């Protein structure tokens, strides 16, 4: 699966973030000067599956694009979803995840827990490249 570069405003979250982790993520990304992993996104609905804190940090850092690994979430059996312990839910479905994003509603932080049976590649994309309207510059 190739890494794609999507406009940050096109991505749709399905759960809230921990505000305390946001500052840490912003500092980490700034210190590195690079994005080291793409975020996982449903190609059809543009729902963020994994990477909510990176997405929120990217917004704080005024990035225009993000590296994305786009998948066919509802059809790809290599991607499963469960709930984190003590999240307040007993179970969750892929359809619920997408539905929340499409309805502009958010689950509590760390509700959904996605597992993938493939490797998400490491990358090194400079922040300056992601701030540009043309991410290739």
pLDDT average, residue stretch 44-71: 96
**Residues 104-135 pLDDT 10s:** 999 999 999 999 999 999 999 999 999 987 65
Domain coordinates in residue numbering, the chain: 4-131
pTM of the model: 0.92
**Residues 75-99 pLDDT 10s:** 999 999 999 999 999 999 999 999 9
Instruction: Respond yes or no: is residue 77 known to be catalytic.
Output: no
For 14-58, the DSSP string reads -B---HHHHHHHHHHHHHH-EE-SPEEEETTT-BEEE-HHHHHHH
Q: Which helix (H) or strand (E) holds 13?
A: none
Active-site residue (options: 7, 15, 95, 119): 15
Class of domain 4-131: alpha beta
């Amino acid at each position: 699966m190739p890494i794609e570069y999507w406009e940050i405003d096109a991505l749709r979250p399905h759960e809230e973030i921990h505000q305390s982790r946001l500052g840490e993520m912003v500092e980490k990304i700034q210190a590195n000067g690079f994005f080291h992993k793409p975020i996982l996104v449903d190609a059809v609905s543009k729902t963020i599956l994994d990477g909510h804190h990176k997405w929120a940090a990217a917004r704080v850092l005024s990035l225009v694009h993000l590296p994305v690994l786009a998948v066919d979430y509802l059809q790809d059996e290599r991607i499963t979803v469960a709930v984190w312990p003590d999240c307040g839910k007993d179970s969750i479905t892929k359809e619920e995840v997408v539905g929340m994003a499409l309805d502009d509603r958010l689950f509590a932080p760390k509700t959904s827990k996605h597992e993938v049976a493939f490797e998400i590649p490491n990358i090194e994309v400079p922040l300056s490249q992601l701030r540009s309207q043309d991410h290739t510059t």
